[in-house]
């Protein structure tokens, strides 16, 4: 026997999570750094436990290595390096643009302070110039735009005008262009839907907080008035040439609506022929839930854990060191006055703006920022290894420290299931099994 695996530098990954598969003698093991999840026999688990005593040429080592279950490098240092590289990685630009901060709704849990206004022609010109600077500095081959607000469909002409110019800019730079929109859906018409399609909007998020009156309790017009019937009628009768995600903001007052709303959305998709899917998200973790959330209550406990599990199983991918676009230099939110923000939840808070579309240049990001600290704090929070709890957490590759805005301004939000990691392992395993089955069925249909 030559060297052992341990002598050759191999060790079990710090980011392995395991759980016994129900009604099976196998163990599901997920590696959050590599982004793998598979089933292993008791013998294979024994070999993994005995790794350092195995011969370095043992045939199982190759399989374990390919799936990330064993490593010969410092994974935590690698995550930190990934985070640093990701912060300034080029190749793509992401802009969240608010044509207005006004809104026709008044939802009690909303994190924004709405104000009337409209993006002027001068600010639109600044947005185009900013996009060009960002694409040049990053050598971007993709431009992603998210229309936000306020309610963006209050200003459809601004969306149409800016979209034409942004698409032309992307074409000029031989870059891909893609857009999405977050809207309450109340103002959707066929004309607007067709316009959004021409503007390469491929997905929309619309919120329903329940069925009928349950929705209207929290998603009502400014000044009062129901909205549910009109939104659902729009979804049912319009031909929507883009995907629609129905977001359900779950709180104590409507958590019993999860199942009936999910089923209603399924039926709505079948009846309309539109691509409509359901997505629950808990109402918690922002200033509104502290200051205004008493009107609805916030969700906690097992129900929140289940929602977290669904979301994290869906977004599972190899550890990348950052949580969201707020940690990236080439991503920004833009309000109707041309002020720039790292997080789209900040676009109603001028005190958190780091610069302006008129002046800021990512080629010299600090010197051209009006408030550099509001920029650098997001980049420096990409992977919070200075937090001892995060540093030693096995879930770090999946959450990357969580939402940077909540960490910076409120409090960090850890997964409710972090002390029961077997839950996320089984959720990941179930998701991947379904994907494997679906791909096999598709392959069979094509033969």
Q: 3-state SS of 186-202?
A: CCCCHHHHHHHHHCCEE
Task: State phi, psi for 291 to the nearest 5 degrees.
Answer: -95, -35
**Per-residue pLDDT at 293:** 40
Distance CA 290, CA 285 (A): 8
Domain annotation covers residue 396: no
Give every residue of the chain whose pLDDT is below 50, as ranges: 285-304, 446-447
Domain annotation covers residue 393: no
Task: State phi, psi for 11 to the nearest 5 degrees.
Answer: -150, 160
Domain annotation covers residue 447: no
Domain annotation covers residue 395: no
What token pair was written down for 2?
């030559």
Domain annotation covers residue 251: yes
**Per-residue pLDDT at 292:** 42
179 and 65 part of one domain: no
Domain annotation covers residue 404: no
Token pair 């395993």 is found at 429
218 and 165 part of one domain: yes
Per-residue model confidence as pLDDT tens digits over 37-65: 999 999 999 999 999 999 999 999 999 99
Distance CA 204, CA 195 (A): 13
**Per-residue pLDDT at 284:** 57
152 and 52 part of one domain: no
Task: State phi, psi for 399 to the nearest 5 degrees.
Answer: -100, -20
**Per-residue pLDDT at 445:** 53
How far is CA 208 from each of CA 105, 154, 266, 267, 278, rounded to the nearest angstrom? Answer: 13, 19, 13, 15, 9
206 and 60 part of one domain: no
Per-residue model confidence as pLDDT tens digits over 58-109: 999 999 999 999 999 999 999 999 999 889 888 899 999 999 999 999 998 8
111 and 207 part of one domain: yes
69 and 117 part of one domain: no
**Domain end point (choices 345, 361, 379):** 379
326 and 429 part of one domain: no
**Per-residue pLDDT at 21:** 95
252 and 298 part of one domain: yes
Domain with 37 in it: 11-73+421-440
**Per-residue pLDDT at 288:** 44
What token pair was written down for 378?
């997001």
316 and 436 part of one domain: no
Per-residue model confidence as pLDDT tens digits over 115-170: 899 999 999 999 999 999 999 999 999 999 999 999 999 999 999 999 999 999 99
User: How many domains is the chain partitioned into structurally?
Assistant: 2
Domain annotation covers residue 402: no
Compute the CA torsion angle 40, 44, 47, 51 (nearest 10 deg): -40
What token pair was written down for 364?
């010299």
317 and 433 part of one domain: no
> Which sign does the torsion angle of CA 430, 435, 440, 441 carry?
positive
What phi-psi label fits residue 200: left (phi over 0), alpha (psi between -120 and 50 degrees) or beta?
left
How far is CA 342 from each of CA 247, 326, 339, rounded to the nearest angstrom? Answer: 23, 5, 10
**Domain end point (choices 346, 363, 379):** 379
**Per-residue pLDDT at 412:** 83
Domain annotation covers residue 387: no
89 and 128 part of one domain: yes
CATH code: domain of residue 362? 3.20.20.70
33 and 138 part of one domain: no
């Amino acid at each position: 026997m030559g060297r052992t695996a341990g002598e050759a530098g191999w060790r079990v990954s710090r980011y392995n999570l395991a759980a016994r598969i129900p009604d099976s003698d196998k163990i599901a093991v997920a590696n959050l750094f590599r982004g793998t999840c598979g089933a292993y026999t008791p013998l294979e688990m024994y070999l993994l436990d005995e790794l350092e005593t195995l011969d370095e040429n043992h045939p199982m080592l190759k399989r374990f290595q390919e799936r990330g279950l064993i490593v010969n490098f410092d994974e935590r240092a690698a995550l930190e390096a990934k985070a640093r590289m990701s912060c300034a990685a080029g190749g793509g630009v992401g802009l969240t643009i608010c044509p207005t901060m006004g809104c026709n709704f008044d939802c009690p849990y909303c994190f924004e302070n709405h104000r009337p206004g409209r993006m002027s022609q001068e600010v639109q010109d600044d947005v185009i110039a900013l996009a060009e600077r960002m694409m040049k500095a990053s050598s971007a081959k993709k431009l992603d735009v998210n229309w936000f607000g306020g309610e963006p469909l209050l200003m459809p002409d601004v969306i149409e005008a800016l979209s034409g110019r942004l698409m032309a800019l992307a074409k000029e730079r031989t870059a891909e262009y893609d857009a999405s929109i977050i809207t309450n859906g109340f103002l959707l018409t066929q004309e607007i839907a067709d316009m959004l399609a021409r503007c390469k909007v491929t997905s929309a998020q619309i919120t329903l907080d329940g069925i009928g009156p349950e929705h209207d309790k929290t998603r009502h017009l400014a000044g009062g008035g129901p909205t549910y019937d009109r939104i659902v009628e729009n979804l049912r009768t319009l031909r929507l040439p883009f995907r629609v995600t129905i977001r359900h903001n779950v709180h104590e007052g409507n958590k019993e609506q999860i199942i009936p709303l999910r089923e209603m959305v399924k039926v709505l998709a079948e009846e309309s022929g539109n691509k409509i899917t359901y997505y629950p998200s808990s109402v918690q973790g922002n200033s509104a839930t502290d200051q205004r959330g008493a009107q609805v209550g916030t969700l906690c406990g097992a129900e929140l854990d289940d929602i977290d599990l669904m979301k994290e199983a869906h977004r599972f991918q190899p550890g990348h060191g950052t949580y969201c676009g707020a940690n990236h230099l080439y991503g920004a939110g833009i309000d109707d006055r041309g002020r720039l923000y790292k997080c789209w939840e900040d676009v109603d808070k001028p005190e958190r703006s780091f610069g302006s579309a008129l002046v800021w240049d990512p080629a010299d990001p600090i010197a051209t920022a009006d408030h550099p600290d509001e920029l650098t704090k997001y980049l420096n929070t990409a992977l919070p290894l200075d937090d001892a709890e995060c540093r030693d957490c096995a879930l770090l590759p999946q959450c990357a420290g969580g939402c940077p805005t909540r960490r910076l301004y409120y409090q960090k939000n850890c997964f409710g299931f972090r002390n029961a990691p077997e839950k996320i392992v089984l959720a990941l395993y179930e998701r991947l099994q379904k994907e494997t089955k679906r791909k096999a069925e598709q392959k069979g249909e094509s033969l």
